[in-house]
């Protein structure tokens, strides 16, 4: 399904991620809208907006945050911290402030990473009604004892929560839901990578004839999924498979976090795919801390919804720091992630339940040219085994996914075997 070669896809994803990187995103505000504008050049997004104050289950859409400038100025007038240098410097949703404070008080408002002294941390305080800066520990330690001018030129006022949605209509109303969070500022892996992957994938779906209807959600973490869920409660039952996609540009993993159900079809499909993705690949059980999956897997919904990443969030040193930059993600890693998601889609699209038309004994593959005509051990080799497995399990109780799981053979070989067998009228769909 990838169409373009992996490298092209990876390069294109990398370029899209690069163009998204500089934008200062947050839970709400202009940065989110600017990001949706960029994505709209790749995929025809439907824009959604939810007004400040709107209740979303247990939550309420907060005021919209605007940030124009921020700095810490030394007595000599030099900016020792400047928002324009990195949008990580300001704690997300900081209240406006402008005054003179001494170093001791300043330190109470500055976040650093003493164990990674040269990195700037990423911090937010959406509901804390406070203000703060983030800087490298080295820089903070270098500040002389003095009176500093701190300024955060921000605003919190009624506005809206923005998100984007792309729907690809399939032959059925059964849906596959793919989501990615749009609320992080200049962090490349988390999550310009996820935005780029789903945008490219959504674009690739155009004009494709599919069984499933596909819904792509580009939305702020937590509140975005809650906004969609509260607006689409009646649709939840149609979602047969779902995944959040984030942190898909680094060289770790790949990692799939299973749904709360633990053995949903999407869980089994992704786990099956990852068995072929090398030493580092991991299928890990659900836990209620993470990204969008925590909302879709809440007990009131309990959807078949997992999380796909390369390195799992929180496990790599660059996570939520200024080191999560455009050097940290690579086109080849993005391309592999893209392929894995498309492989999953292909499997879900192509899965079916074959029923053997010759269930009694093994059909004679030889006279149909489906079997090495001169016997011997090699007859059990790659070309024949998938056909033998499909025929043996074609009792109407096994889907192709079940067959790939039981045989341990790649789904691609099972689907191909089933196709050939059906061509020869040895199978019918159940």
Q: Which is nearer to its own copies, 92 or 194 (CB)?
A: 92
d(CA 198, CA 217): 9
Spatial CA neighbour of 418 closest among 325, 351, 369: 351
Q: 3-state DSSP: the chain helix, strand, coil percent, rounded to 5? A: 35, 25, 45
- φ and ψ of 139, to 5 deg: -60, -45
Query: Nearer to its own copies by C-beta: 11 or 384?
Result: 384
Rounded CA-CA distance 313/40 in Å is: 27
Taking the complex as a whole, how short is the minimal distance between the CB of residue 95 and its own copies, in angstroms? 13
Provide the H-helix boundaries in 216-360: 223-231, 265-274, 293-296, 331-350
Q: How many CB atoms lie within 10 A of CB 65?
A: 22
Work out the burial of residue 142: count CB atoms within 10 Å of its CB; fewer than 13 is exposed, 13-18 middle, 19 or more buried.
exposed
Of residues 159 and 363, the one with the C-beta less far from its own copies:
363
| Residue 372 beta carbon to its own copies: minimum distance, rounded to whole angstroms | 10
Distances (CA, A) of 430 to 28, 269, 393: 48, 20, 12
Q: How far is the CB of 395 from its own copies (least distance, A)?
A: 4
CB of 70 to its own copies, least distance (A): 17
Q: Looking at beta carbons only, is 198 or 387 nearer to its own copies? A: 387
Residue 96 Cβ, how far from its own copies at the closest point, in Å? 18
Cβ proximity to its own copies: between 180 and 259 the closer is 259
Would residue 88 be called left, alpha or beta, if left means φ above 0 and alpha means ψ between -120 and 50 degrees?
alpha
Closer to its own copies by Cβ: residue 80 or 403: 403
Query: How many CB atoms within 10 Å of residue 300?
Result: 9
Start-to-end Cα distance in the chain: 25
Q: Which residues are at the interface with its own copies (CB under 8 A)?
A: 56-59, 91, 111, 121-128, 130, 132, 222, 225-226, 229-230, 233, 260, 287-289, 294-295, 297-302, 313-314, 319-320, 356, 358-364, 366-367, 373-377, 379-380, 384-385, 388-389, 391-395, 407
Considering the complex, state which of residue 144 and residue 361 has its C-beta at the smaller distance from its own copies: 361
User: What is the distance between the alpha carbons of residues 199 and 39, in angstroms, rounded to a whole number?
Assistant: 7
For its own copies, which is the closer residue by CB, 144 or 299? Answer: 299
Smaller CB separation from its own copies, 2 or 230: 230
Instruction: For the CB of residue 76, give the shortest distance to its own copies in the complex, in Å.
Output: 31
- In degrees and rounded to multiples of 5, residue 343 shows phi and psi of -60, -45
Give the closest residue to 246 by CA, choosing from 302, 186, 198, 177: 198
Residue 168 C-beta: closest distance to its own copies, Å: 26
Chain centroid offset of residue 217 CA: 10
Q: State the Cα–Cα distance between residues 287 and 327, nearest whole angstrom.
A: 30
Asked whether 356 and 397 are in contact (CB, 8 A), the reply is no
Shortest reach from residue 127's CB to its own copies, in Å: 5
Interacting residues of 108 by C-beta distance below 8 A, sequence separation 6+ = none
Nearer Cβ to its own copies (33/109): 109
Closest approach of Cβ 237 to its own copies, in Å? 14
**In the complex, least distance from residue 232 CB atom to its own copies, rounded to whole angstroms:** 12
């Amino acid at each position: 399904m990838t169409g373009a070669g992996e490298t092209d896809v990876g390069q294109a994803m990398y370029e899209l991620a690069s163009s998204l990187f500089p934008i200062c995103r947050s839970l709400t505000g202009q940065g989110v809208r600017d990001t949706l504008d960029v994505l709209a050049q790749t995929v025809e997004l439907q824009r959604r907006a939810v007004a400040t104050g709107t209740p979303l289950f247990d939550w309420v859409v907060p005021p919209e945050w605007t940030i124009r400038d921020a700095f810490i100025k030394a007595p000599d007038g030099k900016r020792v911290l400047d928002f324009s240098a990195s949008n990580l410097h300001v704690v997300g949703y900081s209240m406006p402030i402008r005054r003179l404070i001494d170093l001791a008080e300043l330190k109470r408002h500055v976040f650093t990473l003493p164990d990674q002294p040269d990195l700037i941390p990423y911090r937010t305080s959406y509901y804390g009604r406070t203000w703060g800066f983030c800087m490298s520990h080295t820089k903070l330690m270098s500040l002389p004892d003095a009176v500093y001018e701190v300024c955060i030129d921000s605003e919190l006022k009624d506005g809206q929560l923005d998100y984007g949605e792309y729907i690809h209509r399939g032959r059925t109303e059964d849906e596959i839901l793919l989501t990615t969070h749009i609320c992080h500022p200049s962090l490349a892996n988390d999550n310009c990578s996820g935005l780029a992957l789903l945008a490219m994938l959504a674009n690739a779906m155009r004009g494709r004839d599919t069984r499933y209807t596909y819904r792509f959600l580009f939305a702020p973490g937590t509140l975005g999924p809650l906004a969609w869920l509260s607006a689409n409660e009646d649709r939840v039952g149609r979602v047969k498979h779902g995944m959040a996609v984030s942190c898909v540009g680094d060289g770790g993993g790949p990692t799939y976090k299973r749904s709360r159900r633990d053995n949903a079809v999407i869980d089994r499909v992704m786990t099956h795919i990852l068995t072929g993705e090398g030493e580092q690949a991991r299928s890990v059980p659900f836990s209620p801390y993470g990204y969008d999956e925590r909302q879709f897997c809440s007990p009131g919904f309990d959807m078949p919804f997992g999380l796909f990443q390369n390195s799992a969030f929180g496990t790599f040193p660059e996570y939520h720091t200024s080191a999560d930059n455009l050097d940290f993600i690579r086109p080849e890693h993005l391309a592999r992630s893209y392929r894995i998601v498309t492989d999953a889609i292909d499997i879900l699209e192509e899965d079916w339940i074959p029923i053997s038309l010759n269930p009694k004994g093994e059909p004679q593959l030889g006279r149909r040219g489906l079997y090495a005509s001169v016997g011997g051990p090699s007859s059990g080799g790659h070309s024949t085994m998938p056909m033998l497995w499909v025929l043996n399990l074609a009792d109407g109780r096994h889907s192709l996914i079940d067959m790939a799981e039981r045989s341990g053979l790649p789904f691609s070989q099972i689907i191909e075997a089933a196709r050939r067998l059906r061509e020869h009228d040895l199978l019918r769909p159940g």
